Amino acid sequence: MIPGAFEYYAPRSLPDAVKFLAEHRDDVKILSGGQSLLPLMKMRLSKPAYVVDIGRIPDLDTIAEQGSHLIIGALVTHEQIEHSALLQQKCPLLPQTATTIADVQVRNRGTLGGSIAHADPAGDWPAAIIVLDAEIKVVGPAGERWVACDDFFLGLLMSVLEPDEIVTAVKVPVTGNDKTAYEKAAPRSSGFAVVGVAASLSIDNTGTCSRAAIGITGVTDKAYRPQRTEEMLTGKRLDTQIIAQAAAESTRNIEVIEDINGSSEYRAHLTHVYVARAIEQALKS
């Protein structure tokens, strides 16, 4: 499988990359880890005339602490996140999520920015970052903007990104004492989520849940937070019964997809099971 012919450009600076993207915006693709783009190009589902490899742009591959937040560069790989001592200490949900992505080869090449920009409805990062209320830094011809991740994803492989805009970083809060977990059901062949669930819970010193955030991927056209489930958990001391009742509401008003991995009824049931499991694992963290 060989991709169609394209012109390759590897800029050394962000302004150069943005300029090139703006000049060719109707027929250009950004290359990061290539783990999603190259298969699409080889299958001729994507046939860009120009490919901009952003891998030589400095400073996009670092993880830094800034006050109460962590700034993760777009070119940081899944593997870097998995093994980052800083993230393990300050935001353990992200390293834990990284361990569930694909295999070692994909984790070594695939990047956080590429995954987010790709907006795969079965991608793991969208579920993890929506429970953290992350912000996504985007740079384009008009300058830079920060986009709340709730506003970033629009649907199947669709986001608010313009063709001449680059995701350059993701900002997440230090999670402190919050309890977090990521649980996923996935076929061994690809590792892509049939259902993936991120949970982030704040438990106060009386044992009451003061904030519940649940992020679900693989179930519909984009990752989502089940509002009713979160409401049912908030203000309660979480026991098995409350968790099960709240989890059973996690597909309410959601158009659950069906595909070769199962019917929508099966996937909805699996979602309820994995939401409960993620909450229980988070409470143990």
Smaller CB distance to ligand FAD: residue 87 or 232?
87
C-alpha dist (Å) from residue 178 to 88, 131, 150, 159, 197: 13, 11, 20, 29, 16
Distance CA 137, CA 164 (A): 14
Quote the least distance from Cβ 100 to ligand FAD, whole Å: 7
Quote the least distance from Cβ 82 to ligand FAD, whole Å: 12
Please check whether residue 127 is in contact with residue 112, taking contact to mean a CB–CB distance below 8 angstroms: no
Smaller CB distance to ligand FAD: residue 125 or 243?
125
Quote the least distance from Cβ 101 to ligand FAD, whole Å: 4
Quote the least distance from Cβ 269 to ligand FAD, whole Å: 21
Quote the least distance from Cβ 272 to ligand FAD, whole Å: 21
Classify burial at 41, counting beta carbons within 10 Å of its beta carbon; exposed 0-12, middle 13-18, buried 19 or more. buried
Smaller CB distance to ligand FAD: residue 37 or 248?
37
Q: What are phi and psi of 44, to 5 degrees?
A: 60, 25
C-alpha dist (Å) from residue 11 to 8, 31, 36, 53, 63: 10, 11, 21, 7, 22
* The dihedral sign for the CA sequence 235, 239, 243, 246: negative
Quote the least distance from Cβ 249 to ligand FAD, whole Å: 25
DSSP, res 108: H
Q: How many residues does the chain have?
A: 285
Quote the least distance from Cβ 24 to ligand FAD, whole Å: 12
- Interface ranges with ligand FAD (CB under 6 A): 29-37, 39, 54, 74, 101-102, 106, 109-111, 113-115, 117-118, 120, 123-125, 161, 166-167, 190-192
Quote the least distance from Cβ 59 to ligand FAD, whole Å: 13
Helices then strands (H, E): number in the chain? Answer: 12, 13
CA dihedral 40, 43, 47, 53 (to 10 degrees): 40
Distance CA 238, CA 232 (A): 10
Smaller CB distance to ligand FAD: residue 203 or 225?
225
Smaller CB distance to ligand FAD: residue 110 or 226?
110
Distance CA 230, CA 213 (A): 6
DSSP, res 55: G
Classify burial at 181, counting beta carbons within 10 Å of its beta carbon; exposed 0-12, middle 13-18, buried 19 or more. buried
